[in-house]
Amino acid sequence: MNPSVRTALINYDMGNLRSVSKSLEKAGCQVDLVSEPFDFNSYQLAVLPGVGAFAQAAQNLKKRKLFSLIQDWIAQDRPFLGICLGYQLLFEESEESKKRKVPGLGIFKGKVKKFPVQGNLKVPHMGWNQIHYKASDTGSQSIFGKIGNDSYFYFVHSYFPAPKEKSLVMTTTTYGIPFASSIRRGRLFASQFHPEKSGENGLNLLRNFISNIF
């Protein structure tokens, strides 16, 4: 594992930056908070965290001139980590912002959907839940290496992405209905759960991600 991966933690007023930064540092990153366009040569990894509203987040990124920068970064297959809202923003649109018609980054085809009313299940989905991954993604070199199938991670969300490309999906989680709790393409990984709030499993995942892509 590279002991000092230069990391741009994107600040657009929508994230729990302190806990994300601390977890990344424990995983082997040298973290800078960035809230304006940056030189790609200055960083090895970009991280988009986030909690809150989809439309406001997209607008904040545009105001700070970070929207197209993130699109360009990912288009070059540079290492990228998206967390919670930072995962949802990778898609085309969200049911949360359908009245305002604010598009997401559009990296992947698909819509972010709201959990339907399901018996006694409360929305938002909040707390610990299990992740289930493909057999091909197990093993020592995987992002989920040494993290057992059905392991628990921490979630806080009312909406979830529904990727049209099923091959993107690394893990699913069930909350009344199954949904894609993480995806991967190339050197991009994004999750609906919060690694920084998921104890040892979350820290192991971040360490695996760093060692897997560098």
Q: What is the pTM of this model?
A: 0.94
**Which ranges of 44-184 does DSSP label H, i.e. alpha helix?**
54-63, 67-75, 85-88
Q: Which residues contact 139 (CB under 8 A, 6 or more apart)?
A: 145
Question: Per DSSP, what are the bridge partners of residue 180?
Answer: 172
Annotated catalytic residues are: 84, 194, 196
What per-residue confidence (pLDDT) applies to 139? 45
Q: Which residues contact 17 (CB under 8 A, 6 or more apart)?
A: 9, 11, 33, 49
Query: Tens of pLDDT along 18-50?
Result: 999 999 999 999 999 999 999 999 999 999 999
CA 160 to chain centre: 11
E strand intervals along the chain = 5-10, 29-34, 45-48, 80-83, 91-94, 108-114, 125-130, 132-133, 152-157, 159-163, 169-175, 177-185, 188-191
* Domain range enclosing 172: 5-213
Lowest-confidence pick of 61-65, 79-83, 93-97, 150-154: 93-97
pLDDT above 50 for 1: no
Relative to beta strand 45-48, strand 29-34 is unpaired
Identify the CATH number of the domain in which residue 9 sits: 3.40.50.880
Give the residue-averaged pLDDT of 55-64.
96
Query: Tens of pLDDT along 98-157?
Result: 677 899 999 999 999 999 988 899 999 999 999 998 755 544 458 998 899 999 999 999
Q: How many domains does the chain have?
A: 1
pLDDT above 50 for 191: yes
pLDDT above 70 for 3: no
Query: Tens of pLDDT along 146-184?
Result: 899 999 999 999 999 999 999 999 999 999 999 999 999
For residues 139 and 145, the answer to whether their CB atoms sit within 8 Å is yes
Specify the 3-state DSSP secondary structure of 161.
strand
pLDDT above 60 for 187: yes
